[in-house]
Amino acid sequence: MKAASVESVDEVKVRRATVDDVAELADLRRTFTLEDATEGEPLRSDYEESFARIVTNGIESGRWVIWVAEADGAIVSHAFVGTIEKIPRPVVGHGVIGYMTNVYTRPEFRGRGIGGRVLDAVAAWAIAAGIELLVVWPSEASFGHYERHGFADRGEPLVWLHPDDPA
């Protein structure tokens, strides 16, 4: 991957990811996962293969919609939205909800509004696509960032976690 440098946020292109981006997206996922990983944490031997299969199938089927910010031909920020069809109701309403995950901006590009542009692209797409709601689990550090882009803590969903998951 070539190093990206950008003087202005105007030089950054925000677009939907394609299957051609999958390998670079896998590298970014590895980078940001390992930023906070515990020393000696076991790594998956099938990571690249599994990522490529799931993300390629997701992009091709529309199950995953991925927005990226690109500078100098390299992806510097992204957000993944998994779409979930709701069971139809007999009354008019929205038929899809979105699960936003894997939101990341390379550290050297943070604080320039690039991640905000990605979130704004996600929101504009969600409105046009008739998405009822987007769910995201922000870190404490990113909570204000999401609030500035229209997300709010509504305290509504109840969540079940697998008993073995550390939450």
**What is the overall mean pLDDT for the chain?**
89
The single residue listed with the structure tokens 């998951």 is 165
Q: Do you know the residue count of the chain?
A: 167
Query: What phi, psi does 48 have (nearest 5°)?
Result: -60, -45
Is the whole model's pTM more than 0.75, yes or no? Answer: yes
- Cα distance between residue 65 and residue 58, in whole Å: 8
Calculate what percentage of the chain has a pLDDT beyond 90: 63
Q: Regarding the domain with residue range 9-148, which homologous superfamily does it belong to in the CATH classification?
A: Gcn5-related N-acetyltransferase (GNAT) (3.40.630.30)
Indicate whether 156 pLDDT > 80.
Answer: no
Query: What phi, psi does 102 have (nearest 5°)?
Result: 55, 45
Residue-level pLDDT at 164: 83
At 102-148, the pLDDT tens digits run: 999 999 999 999 999 999 999 999 999 999 999 998 888 888 899 99
Domain ranges of the chain: 9-148
Q: Which of 72, 41, 121, 108 is nearest to 134 (CA)?
A: 121
Helix (H, G, I), strand (E, B) or coil at 47: helix
At 54-69, the pLDDT tens digits run: 999 999 999 999 999 9
Identify residue 84 by its one-letter amino acid code. Answer: I
Q: Which two tokens stand for residue 37?
A: 């990983």
Residue-level pLDDT at 52: 98
Helix ranges restricted to H, 13-80? 22-35, 47-61
Indicate whether 5 pLDDT > 70.
Answer: no
Residue-level pLDDT at 118: 97
